[in-house]
Structure 1
Amino acid sequence: MRLRIINQNQPSCRIVKRKSNFFIPSRQTITMNGKNEIPEYATFPRTFEKYRWYKPLLVLAVGVIVYFILIFVMVILFGAIYGTDATNALMGGSYESLNSEAGAYMSFLSVAIILPSLYVASRVVRDRPFSSYSSSRGGWDWKLYLKCQTIPLAIYVIYCVMYAMVHGKVSPTTFSLPYFLICLVIVPLQCVGEEYLMRGFVMQTVGSWSKIPILALIIQAVIFGVLHIYTILGVIGTVMCGLAYGFLALKTKGLEASSSMHIANNLSMTIMIGLGFGASTSTITMSNFIETIALLAVNTLALYYIGTRKEWF
């Protein structure tokens, strides 16, 4: 592939890589002193030649159609495996359904399929490359993700051990090796699916429309909270999570850091429930709320501080 330099008679010029004949994605700006300036993540879609304000709406429309097709296929498969009555009960259940293996599988997969839905929609609409949802640095950075994952994972392991020692078992153990192995795959996909939808699609869409990253951060966090069917404290806690994940996405200009924290949270909670040291519920108490916010703050500050000091991003 050839690199093409576009000189705009300004102190800096933009280097772009042509990947197809329908868009020219901007990768980075190089100033006269050679310092790289990575584009703002929230407004990144505006840097593409074929950007139009209405194209995210087309992506949403196509994505919803693909999503419901995949949901239909998933329900048919679950009906064949677990029976129609059990599948209908799981679909009508709330977060309590996560306390069973089948409920956990269905819940996680129903969110994980957001990824292929968004991918297909972006390819159909052809508004911009799918990698632009990952970051404004040129796509998903696996090295950065793995570095980031070590911090929240360590914090959640310490927290879960302390929680188990203090509270003990609260429910029967449903944990099994197949359950653990399956969750190692579908839980990260579920978390990344939410990140691509909320911090990727929603935050970048609002940011591109308004050109105000902080507004995009707040709106996506509110939507993220409302989509989670908890009591009021749970919704507020989820909004705070959305703000923290969005903050990391804006500051790191990508989804790797927020995804690492999201995955560590959901995976550790899933394992704790399977081992009987926790139970999923839609009713959030004040103590649950305080623990969630404290753990969220520690993870966010630790990840951002260490990552900045070590120049990960």
Structure 2
Amino acid sequence: MYIEQAYKGLSETWRYVLGFFLVFIAWQFVGGIPLMAALILKSNSLADLTGDLGQMAEILGTNTFLFFMLLTFVIGLVCLFVFVKFVHKQAILYLTTSRNRVDWKRVLFSFFLWAIISIAFILIDIYFTPENYEFNFNLGPFLILAVIAVLMIPIQTSMEEYFMRGYMMQGIGIMAGNRWVPLFITSTLFGLMHIFNPEIGKLGYGVLVFYIGTGFFLGILTLMDEGLELALGFHAANNLTAALLVTADWTAFTTDSIYRDISEPTLGWDIFIPVLVVYPILLFIFSKKYGWTNWKERLTGKVLSKESFAEVNVNDVQL
């Protein structure tokens, strides 16, 4: 009953509509003020402020730009938590999970499982196509990157998970009265949220298949496991390995990583491998480990009304 955890706070529709817009504005605009201020101080002309991410990183330096970019997510997450606590009167625990406490073992299992798989995929590709990679390791900048990444990337990914798979999943779910509508909407919005990433300009809109597919994968994790823990671990592992191990000039995370991908990017059939092969295998692994059953009901079934949820809780207490 993860979606129904919204009933443990104030769950009127207007609160979610207001929260969506206020948190989004705080995240995307207020959170960007420090970045814009830093660019103004470092740039030679106002024209520099309208450049792409690569130009901004060149102005500030790669690590400094990464810090200010990730700071927008820190500000967004703080604003989301404050709004949930004081406007919805909902404990952050109930935004996180339907369990009595956050299951950190789930977070760590998902994190290390995907980190190991991601690193293996990258190292295999480097081994078989070394001409596509350039050794980029520089101890000083890498150590600074590692500190920034380890401290802030989990916050960045948590903001996306709490906002999309948490706040919006619960809000849309109780409005729609079912589970498939919030799964579809949040997964699609998650993919479209990446539409301004430089990868889109380089590879085209076809890469949205990967982003939307990832959104569905994370949404399924959340609904089947009745909490955000697995999605939080997976997302953090994915972005950390991307930032620390290999980067490219045409990606959102252009960092002082160990390797740099210097190949000419192309959009091919391999974009479907994670969505159609890897993610289903991961879902199978998680389902076996955590004993998931009743997939249809958990992914498409009805959401209890507030009154029905209250009756269930009363019965649980009596039992």
TM class by smaller structure: 0.7 to 0.9
- Residue deviations 1:269-293 (CA, integer Å, cap 9, x gap): 1121112243699x76114513443
Q: Deviation of residue 94 (structure 1)?
A: 5.0
Between 1:84-93 and 1:288-297, the stretch displaced more is 84-93
Between 1:249-258 and 1:96-105, the stretch displaced more is 96-105
Q: Deviation of residue 213 (structure 1)?
A: 0.7
- Structure 2 residue runs of 5 or longer lacking an equivalent are 248-256, 293-319
- What amino acid is aligned across from residue 120 of structure 1 in structure 2? V
> Could you tell me which residue of structure 2 aligns to residue 142 of structure 1?
104
- Structure 1 residue runs of 5 or longer lacking an equivalent are 1-39
Please provide the CA RMSD for this pair. 3.1
- Partner of 1:136, secondary structure, is coil
Match of 1:221 among 187, 190, 196: 187
Looking at structure 2, the residues matched to 91 and 109 of structure 1 have their Cα atoms a distance apart, in angstroms, of: 19
> Could you tell me which residue of structure 1 aligns to residue 147 of structure 2?
181
- In the alignment, is the contact (CA less than 8 A) between 1:187 and 1:266 conserved in 2? yes
- In the alignment, is the contact (CA less than 8 A) between 1:203 and 1:216 conserved in 2? yes
Q: Deviation of residue 232 (structure 1)?
A: 2.0
- Residue deviations 1:172-196 (CA, integer Å, cap 9, x gap): 6165111122111221111111101
Between 1:85-94 and 1:116-125, the stretch displaced more is 85-94
- What amino acid is aligned across from residue 194 of structure 2 in structure 1? H
The residue correspondences of 1:214-293 to structure 2 (distance < 5 A) are 214-229=180-195, 230=200, 231-271=204-244, 272-273=246-247, 274-278=257-261, 285-293=267-275
> Could you tell me which residue of structure 1 aligns to residue 4 of structure 2?
43
- Residue deviations 1:89-125 (CA, integer Å, cap 9, x gap): 5774258978943443344333343211211222342
- Partner of 2:98, secondary structure, is coil
- Runs of at least 4 residues off by over 6 Å: 95-99
- In the alignment, is the contact (CA less than 8 A) between 1:145 and 1:260 conserved in 2? yes
- In the alignment, is the contact (CA less than 8 A) between 2:206 and 2:267 conserved in 1? yes
- What amino acid is aligned across from residue 256 of structure 1 in structure 2? E
> So what's the TM-score if we normalise by structure 1?
0.73
Q: Percent identity?
A: 19
Question: Could you say if the C-alpha distance between residues 98 and 172 of structure 1 is closer, same or farther in structure 2, counting changes exceeding 3 Å?
Answer: farther
Q: Deviation of residue 245 (structure 1)?
A: 0.3
The residue correspondences of 1:22-171 to structure 2 (distance < 5 A) are 40-45=1-6, 47-48=7-8, 50-67=10-27, 68-77=29-38, 79-80=40-41, 83-84=42-43, 89=48, 92-94=51-53, 100-168=62-130, 169-171=132-134
Q: Deviation of residue 70 (structure 1)?
A: 3.0
Looking at structure 2, the residues matched to 85 and 171 of structure 1 have their Cα atoms a distance apart, in angstroms, of: 31
Looking at structure 2, the residues matched to 305 and 85 of structure 1 have their Cα atoms a distance apart, in angstroms, of: 57
Looking at structure 1, the residues matched to 112 and 14 of structure 2 have their Cα atoms a distance apart, in angstroms, of: 39
> Could you tell me which residue of structure 2 aligns to residue 33 of structure 1?
none
Question: Could you say if the C-alpha distance between residues 292 and 55 of structure 1 is closer, same or farther in structure 2, counting changes exceeding 3 Å?
Answer: same
Looking at structure 2, the residues matched to 257 and 208 of structure 1 have their Cα atoms a distance apart, in angstroms, of: 22
- Residue deviations 1:206-240 (CA, integer Å, cap 9, x gap): 11101111111111001111111222221111110
Looking at structure 1, the residues matched to 67 and 152 of structure 2 have their Cα atoms a distance apart, in angstroms, of: 8
- Partner of 2:32, secondary structure, is helix
> Could you tell me which residue of structure 2 aligns to residue 210 of structure 1?
176
Looking at structure 1, the residues matched to 45 and 127 of structure 2 have their Cα atoms a distance apart, in angstroms, of: 34
Question: Could you say if the C-alpha distance between residues 232 and 70 of structure 1 is closer, same or farther in structure 2, counting changes exceeding 3 Å?
Answer: closer
Higher relative contact order (CA 8 A, sep 6+): 2
Looking at structure 2, the residues matched to 290 and 208 of structure 1 have their Cα atoms a distance apart, in angstroms, of: 32
Question: Could you say if the C-alpha distance between residues 180 and 289 of structure 1 is closer, same or farther in structure 2, counting changes exceeding 3 Å?
Answer: same
- What amino acid is aligned across from residue 152 of structure 1 in structure 2? W
Looking at structure 2, the residues matched to 121 and 151 of structure 1 have their Cα atoms a distance apart, in angstroms, of: 33
Looking at structure 2, the residues matched to 164 and 239 of structure 1 have their Cα atoms a distance apart, in angstroms, of: 27
- What amino acid is aligned across from residue 121 of structure 1 in structure 2? F
Question: Could you say if the C-alpha distance between residues 280 and 133 of structure 1 is closer, same or farther in structure 2, counting changes exceeding 3 Å?
Answer: farther
Between 1:139-148 and 1:222-231, the stretch displaced more is 139-148
- What amino acid is aligned across from residue 19 of structure 2 in structure 1? V
- Residue deviations 1:249-298 (CA, integer Å, cap 9, x gap): 111111110111111211111121112243699x7611451344344344
Question: Could you say if the C-alpha distance between residues 295 and 213 of structure 1 is closer, same or farther in structure 2, counting changes exceeding 3 Å?
Answer: same
Looking at structure 2, the residues matched to 216 and 187 of structure 1 have their Cα atoms a distance apart, in angstroms, of: 26
Question: Could you say if the C-alpha distance between residues 280 and 130 of structure 1 is closer, same or farther in structure 2, counting changes exceeding 3 Å?
Answer: farther
Equivalenced residue count is: 266
> So what's the TM-score if we normalise by structure 2?
0.72
Question: Could you say if the C-alpha distance between residues 105 and 51 of structure 1 is closer, same or farther in structure 2, counting changes exceeding 3 Å?
Answer: same
